Each structure stands twice: as C-alpha cells, then as structure tokens.
Amino acid sequence: MNKTSKFLIGVTLAGTAVVGSSWAAPADTASAASQSASASASQTAQKNNPYYTAGIDDPAEFHTFFVKLQQAVAKNNKKAVASMVSYPLNVNTGGKTYKFATPARFIAKYDSIMTPEVKKTLGYAIEDDLFVNWKGVSVGDGTLWIGKLDGKLGVYGINK
C-alpha cells in the first residue's frame, strides 16, 4: 500500500469517527419522540413570540412595557421612565460609557440622557420594526436597548 492510499484511508476513518456519532439513531423511539416534541414546542414559542431570542417569554408583557415607555417619555414623566430602567444604565456617547446606578442619578441627568433625538427615535418606533437578538430588543438602530434582567423588563442601554 502506498502513502497516498494510507493517507486516504486515514482521512476516511477519521471523518467517519467524527461524523458517525451524529448519524446514530436514538436509543429508543420514546427518546426520539421526546426530542421531536421538544423541538416542535420551541419552534412554536419562537413563531408566536418575536422576543423569544431576547429571553422575553411574554410578548404581551413586552408590548405593555413598550407602550408605557413611549407614553412616559412623550409626557416627559422622568420618574416613570426612571422606574422602567434596569440599573446600572449604560449611556454611550462620544466614545465613552457613562453608568447611572440609581433612579435619582438618572432623573438628575434625564435631559442630557433623553435628548430630543432619543425621544424622537422612541416616539416613532413601531414594534414590528424592532430588532431582536440575544442581547435584547433594539429601538432605532441601537439607540435604546431593552432587555429582561433579573426577571424585569427595562431599558439597559442608550446610545447617542
């Protein structure tokens, strides 16, 4: 046997060892049915919940939060907006990140955080146009980020 043949046999055996286990049939049919049902339930949850990828279980909860946030910002209700923030809030502007650890600090700097541009972006946002990924829900190309942290929905990032 020449070197080329030995090499091809070695590559074939290595490939079979790596790929072969993924082709193996489940140990029993109950296991296969369970895996199939689990995958189906996950796909249904994803289809019915556009915020699934962001770790948000209840789309109605997100909708209520989002509408209240838009209304509070439109009314300039600083206290209500502060209650809808996940602290520490990261505000990114001019290449720097500023952290706001308390509602009182957020309210004190509200006008410099919630600029007219940020307010406009949030005010004109439509839920169907929001971007969702594993980090959360993005409003206006990342101007605001909303996520579920410690079981509570909140704004956790603002980029100006």
Q: Does domain 52-159 have CATH number 3.30.420?
A: no
pLDDT at 5 over 80: no
Write out pLDDT tens, residues 8-38: 455 454 444 444 444 445 555 555 555 666 5
Predicted TM-score of the model (pTM): 0.73
**pLDDT of res. 26:** 54
For residues 119 and 141, give the distance between their C-alpha atoms in angstroms, rounded to a whole number: 14
For residues 34 and 147, give the distance between their C-alpha atoms in angstroms, rounded to a whole number: 31
What 84-89 contacts at long range (C-beta under 8 Å, 24+ apart), as own/partner pairs, is 84/153, 84/154, 84/155, 85/154, 85/155, 85/156, 86/147, 86/149, 86/150, 86/152, 86/154, 86/155, 86/156, 89/113, 89/155, 89/156, 89/157, 89/158
Enumerate the domain spans of the chain: 3-48, 52-159
pLDDT at 126 over 90: yes
Write out pLDDT tens, residues 41-90: 556 666 789 999 999 999 999 999 999 999 999 999 999 999 999 999 99
